[in-house]
Structure 1
Amino acid sequence: MDKEIVSILQILLNNTLITADRLQEESNSSKRQINYRIDKINDMLKSKNVPLIYLKTDKDTVVRKETKNAIKEILENNYSKNTYYFSKSERLLYMYLMLFINLGDISINHFIDSLKVSRSTVNLDFKDLIPYLSEKGIEVKNNRINGYYLNGSEIEIRRVLIKKIIETLANENSSRVLDIFIEEYKLEQFEEAKKVILKLVEKYQITFVEDRLTEFIYIFIFIKARMHSDDLNNSECEDIPNVKAMSSMKEYMFSKELLEVYDNKENIKSYNVMYISAWILGISVGNYEEDTEDRAAISEIVNKIMKKFGYLSGVYYVSQEKIFKQIYAHFRPAYYRLLFKLPVYNPICEKVKEEYRLVYKIVSNAMKDFGDLFGEEIQDEEISYLTMHFATIFSNKKNFYDFKKRVAVIACSNGVGSSAILYKELTNLFSDLHFLPPMELSEVKKLNKDIDIIFTTNYNSEGLEIDVPVIKVSPVMTAKEKYNITREVYIQLGDIFLRQPKIDEVIGIIKKYAKITSESMLSSELLAYFTQIENFKSNEGDGPMLSEITNERLIKLKVKAKDWEDAIRQSASALVEDNKVTKEYVDAMVNTAKESGPYIVITKHVALPHARPEAGAKDISIGIATLENPVEFGNDENDPVKYVFCLSAIDNSSHLRAMSELVELLENEEFFRVLDNAKDPKEIINFIKKYEV
């Protein structure tokens, strides 16, 4: 059975409703290829005596429960080790593992024999592997003594290994390539390592979620093999940080004893204990209630991030403490990932950037100040996870709990803090379901109360051992995904929701009597309308642009200010005169600046004063002022201030589009040249409008 058929089987397993068009889209296959593979699949299903798959182009086909059970069985019996063929990505991982564990004297023939491929295939694979590693500062060298070996920063060499294993386990949904390597090179078997690790996990009360534990065991097996290599010397590991606060933590004690199982105490290097400790911390969830040595330092950073985001977005936190703990829970592990350059796998990164683009822009800008702490720019993957947390602030829908409703649970398996936004999305989407708080897959099994439906980001219903519908969802859903999931949920629960119109049929009717200028836009709006989706993306585009919330009357040039307070009051006076805010709002801006100190200066030479909407905001607006003489605001890094942007926001979201545009403008040097040289406010307005086109 080829991998394309396996891919189709997995899509069918994860969907109750499917069309031929959707299957083509998800598998990136042609209509002819889909028909051929479905025929092959039906041939396999016939022997199981279950309903077959009959696809229609624009009509839903229901994949029955008994058919899904047969598909699971087929997938479980898919491959034997003797007939397994590596994909290209698996070959590249296998080659890297050979280099990583420092086998010594590896020749081209070793790669050919291990991979069971031709010399030309190995050479072609090397042509892909070498440039990829070169981008990470890692060289693949070759000499007569050592053969092929890795050369470069040890922390980068380990980062690549961890990233590749995490991606393989996530994307291939199989550990087979790792198991084959372990068996061939006689490394410690997975189950043996698991027994040792679980014993220490219980002793030190280390919390691993299921997928992260599997990753940890595999990665530990390979890193341990490298640690024990005779060719690895201490000088190559000098770039691994030494964080004193970690030595008192349970994760450090766990790591130290884990290594002692396999080596004498005197042979264990402190940097290896530190590295494994950081790795455990990097895949854990931070708990502010836990009094750890790092709590004060990480809390300070989290507070700074929240204040920076607050000033850039013009947002005021309704429940400051709750949001702080939520951000802390995510940022503590992120702190150690960033410090030790540990990779984070975020398969929904691009989706977050698209669905929450305005929030992402502001979070990205807010995090620029913190890159210096870690010696490199913060990765998009980390920023997108933070974006998901901040995006929950903009969901204003209240949750009403009715314990007579059918009970739903969100089961997370990857341990990443994405459940908060998913919980918001699903509770908004299914108001007639009572959602229990998100939990790990293992916790679902322990529930005493009845559950009617389970939502999970990782389809693993056989592991749950609960006979209820399991719906696979993405942590961040598009309007189309929400529509499809809504229909599937109501099919599973036997509701009358199926009478809801189907998008393709509605568009077909409209085409008969009207000209459609944009079928994709119409489809998107119908999706949102029919599911009554209250998603943040639909609200993002609804807010006014920057040019629509400022005007020539709100711009003041060459203001003569004696100090920072005078600069704010003079700049904000235009908002009062234009009836955008009250005088009390200006007083509140000054008081807020006094309380928040230097955070009002959001970047070099730019201050962004604002106050809570209830302080006297009448309309969304931004006043722009340039100062004749720069003024000190008390921010050592960004003073003196030359430009003051006074914001009036009437809520926490309607101004976000304009603020996102402003954040982009503040990265444009030409904008500042226009501000410096403008003789008429109209020049600034024209530049903003031109920039928005």
Structure 2
Amino acid sequence: MLTRRQAEILLDFYAAQGSILPLKSVSQKYAVSVRTIQNDLQCIRNELKGSGMELCSISSKGCLLQIREEAQSSAYIRSLLKAHQQNYYFSDASSRVKYILSALLQDDVYKKSEELADEMFISKSRLSADLASVKQTLSQYRLSLHSRPYHGLYVEGLEVDKRRCIIKEHLNFNSERTEEGADAEQGYEEINEIKEILLQAMMDSYYRISDVAFQNLIIHISTAVERIRRHRFVKMEQVSLNEEFEMELELAEHIMRACCERFQLVYSADEVILLALNLYGKREYDNEEYITAEINSLVYEGLMQIKKIYHTDLTNDLNLRISLGLHILPLLARIKTETTLKNIMTYTIKQSCPLAFDMASTFANAVLPKQGDKLSDDEVSYIALHFSYSMDQESTTEKTKSILLVNTGKKSSTILVQQKIMQWFPSVREIDIISSSMLQQKDFQSYNAVITTEPSVANKYEKIVLINYFPNESDLQKVDLALRGFSSAKDILDKFHASLFYHGKAKDKQEVIDILYQKVQAAHLADEELYRSILLHETIASSYFGNCLAILHPEKLITDTTFIAVAVLDEKIRWEEDQVNVVFLVSIEKDNLLAYKLWHYLSYLISNEAAIQALNQTPTYEHLIETVKKIYEDIFR
């Protein structure tokens, strides 16, 4: 049997698709001597007998793997990958405990200990130690581990307690439906459908709960659906709910009926009672009586416009939708009576939350398109607080991410890459795989990162990240950067260019726009579409950000790259009701979902009054870069 290193070396050769691999490069990769690699290769040769493959030495060059029998070699590699993956996963005790719990609770049947040991490639003595941890975990949920001679192990306890264990321990029981990509996608679609059913039910019932509670309800319902599918039903005979629970019972009945009709299941009254109790404990009360269907529709329309322009889907944020709905009610009355609010924190909000303010402007323009003049910055800044809070909440919880992996070889050859990335980044929920020939047909915008193990693909597509077949620490950093968008001061500095810097005079706002656009056009970074979009955005929201600074940007994503053009004026000019002598033109690239993070990092610069004043005193490109570098090196240190 091959060791872990030997298995990985063999998979390296298999992934090379018949190319010669020098022994020196293999030894450097695994940090061992060439002699050790030669010994490993001999073991591999012995193991490959009868596998349909042969490891051949090429004098003075290295070795290559020759495929003699395609079907036989593929079967061998699949078996090797499965064994390697499971061995790696089961090296961790907590992973083994979770696997045992999943195996015992999945169908509530007896499971023999020797079967569990074989499945995890561990000894019976190690399994015994793991079972002690399993018993301890089960006891926290009023469950016990029962052993019956000739039958095996079984979890005893109430179904409601088993579901608590499933949810709290994050157990996954969809393995048979999620092994292949299409089935995994079906599982995620099912959760999204449950989310939509729940969201609509909450909005229809004007039922206010926190976003965290909303996410917990999704887990509760998806678990219930899966258990009902497996014919595991709760019994709530000793529970009776009085009129205090009338609203929750009605809502729970509606949700269970909609979910079970969608998934063609039969539910019981006990399921409704359990969900009603869950709802009752999560409800948040508000003095407002309700949000009308008209207001609800306006909010949804505004959030859809944000999704279209910013590629950020906030439509499922129940707290945000209700907060915006409650905000719009008095806002419409203020607009009608021309009694708009003042906000002394407007410029502070714009400087510290520029993206939230921009989203609020877009939202207001979509929701209030027939209200005459554009909404004041003071009113928009109040709306911006709702978006800022929503995005802050989102960033403090683990978000699910998706990755597109470009690999022309067999799907089975990518299992180890997928496994490694999943271990490094728990927030990655799925990794889709396509061949390089399908790249032109794929929409990259639906993925947080696009990676490949093929140098030819990375050379052809600049934005695709190249990693090793067996990812190392350096590859981890590459993927992390791709997922997060920015990770160093250089990532910000690269957005400024000497050719996009202007120092001199301008008579008015229009002339500054023309000067900066001409520089961008001369650098072949944009065409007239950008110019028109900038002018359009000026009719939607104010581009003044305080500190005598204005930031121009298009109404939608247009350019292929992200850049920042800068104008420092000798004299201040009138900018609507304010005075300006520093102007940024910011354009976010259209092909990068995470490029909008630039707005967050820009907030550190535009809110730094001393830095803006220093730029006025020394209006050179070199001083601009020096100032920006100092600010962001402190942030990324």
If the TM-score is normalised by the length of the shorter chain, which range does it land in? 0.3 to 0.5
Q: What TM-score does the superposition give when structure 2 sets the normalisation length?
A: 0.43
Q: What TM-score does the superposition give when structure 1 sets the normalisation length?
A: 0.41
